[in-house]
Amino acid sequence: MTYTVNDKCIMCKHTDCVEVCPVDCFYEGENMLVINPDECIDCGVCEPECPEDAIYATDDEEDPWYKHNLYFSEEANWPNITDAKDPMLEYEKYSGQSDKTKLFKKLPYKEI
């Protein structure tokens, strides 16, 4: 099992999650974070820290968000993030919105 980040993080990026991770396995994209599922030790301490409820446990390797987290943490060269910082400027506008997938921003990698 691993923990993974879904679209609720998009345009918010509160980063409370990275402060508590004992193995520093969060990676930062332009408008969301992902977890490297191969580095995550399933401790679960990040899940309750996210104000957007964007982190959940899964053991389904076909889960699109599992694949998304795996791809962007391992193949897309997103930088590791270990210190919290301010959330995105307009996070209040996007907080709680459903299905923010269309708002996902990336360098020219691949569609999800």
Residues that bind ligand SF4 (CB under 6 A): 3, 20-23, 25, 35, 40-46
- In the list ligand SF4, ligand F3S, none, the entry touching 3 (Cβ below 5 to 8 angstroms by class) is ligand SF4
Q: N- to C-terminal Cα distance for the chain?
A: 21
How far apart CA 47 and CA 25 sit, in angstroms, is: 14
Count interface residues toward ligand F3S (CB under 6 A).
14
Subset of 83-112 contacting ligand F3S (CB under 6 A): none
Q: Which residues, at least 6 apart from 85, have a Cβ–Cβ distance to it below 8 Å?
A: 15
Binder of ligand F3S out of 40, 52, 66, 70 (CB under 6 A): 52
How far apart CA 87 and CA 78 sit, in angstroms, is: 18
Give contact residues for ligand F3S (rule: CB under 6 A).
Answer: 5, 9, 12-17, 33, 49-50, 52, 54-55
